[in-house]
Amino acid sequence: MIQDPKSFESFIHELRDFVRTRLVPHEARVAAEDEVPAEVVAEMAAYGLFGYSIPAAYGGAGMTTEELVMAAMELSQCSVAFRARVGTNTGIGSEALVADGSDEQKRRYLPDLASGKLTGCFALTEPDAGSDATALRTTAVRDGDHYVLNGTKCFITNAPIAGLFTVMARTATDNQGAGGVSAFLVERGTPGLSTAKPYAKMGQAGSPVSEVHFDNCRVPAANLIGKEGQGFKTAMKVLNKQRLHLAALCIGPAIRMLNDAVAYTATRKQFGQPVGSFQLVQALIADCQTEIHAARALVLETARKRDAGEDVTMEASICKYFASEMCGRVADRCVQALGGYGYIADNSIERLYRDVRLFRLYEGTSQIHQLNIARRTFSAAGYDLRP
């Protein structure tokens, strides 16, 4: 739990000010150039944004889950590109190392991830292995003191700029399920590793995403995380925490959109009075505020349970499902509240409307989370619905 609430509260206020004064002013530039400027990245690194969840022993802030989600709600109240630039380091790009890495692996990589000197990414998804992640085909064949990786990953956030790849690959060809998958650390520059041109996307300009290719890529056996066949256990540790983190990252944009919609409708006049005085517009605002509060309370409660050592696998799915769907509903209402202006490119709400659509797809689609929540609900009641 938070050891010094007053100090952390002060930190949150400082982070809020940093987001508003140092990041928000660059939003239009990021959208136009499709990248976060190097000087802004350096400023974020100096502020410590890359190392929030990395243990203090390796240069990070060592935040609890509760602290991490509270910080995420603040950091995400600006263009998604800013939090995505640091997000893999504070989430899936470092969590496998933190959870199951060896002492040597942690000493070698975590300090550079925490400082922002090194950008990490998590390479799990493949063209035929998305929601069914156990169907992955990337192979890792042992050859002396190395493994030889072959295969393709897709939709990998920060892959074009990453220096370290956490890669899930199949080490046991006779086991086509989760037990045949292992996790590896692969450095950029390793022969046989390449990244494709970044995708052109609906939104999230400035956050590069691409395919990753492995062509007889030789990786030292010392770069295996944990033991052979335990890759999916590591992945689930990563994803449970990341789903909570992402749920918090859905709340920040919703808060930003609501604040901007309130400011606009309070001053925009029609029929001689502010648009915000009309009851149907007020209903849109009230629904947004209610759902944001509900999501925030749910995420904080679940984060505290995780910090207490409880199994929050189902709760993490609930958080990710509810918060991402909530954010989409808030975005739609806020565009509606702004009327025609809400459809004009490059105002904050129009941009976030496109950005947040992805939240319902990655880290498990909403439909996959619905299935997971239902299956676990039946199981907890003593029913096994498997064929």
pLDDT at residue 256, as a whole number: 98
Q: What is the pTM of this model?
A: 0.93
Q: Find the helix packing angle between 92-100 and 231-267, rounded to 10°.
A: 140
Q: Measure Cα distances from 12 to 68, 78, 96, 223 in Å.
A: 11, 15, 27, 36
- Is 363 designated active site? yes
pLDDT at residue 1, as a whole number: 41
pLDDT at residue 14, as a whole number: 94
pLDDT at residue 3, as a whole number: 58
Mean pLDDT per 10-residue run, the chain (387 residues)?
73 95 96 96 95 93 94 96 94 89 96 96 91 87 97 97 96 77 96 97 96 98 94 84 94 98 95 95 98 98 96 96 98 97 91 97 93 95 87
What are all long-range contacts of 28-36, with beta carbons under 8 Å and residues at least 24 apart? 28/346, 30/79, 30/81, 30/82, 30/205, 30/206, 31/79, 31/205, 31/206, 31/346, 31/351, 33/206, 34/205, 34/206, 35/81, 35/206, 35/208, 36/81, 36/82, 36/85, 36/206
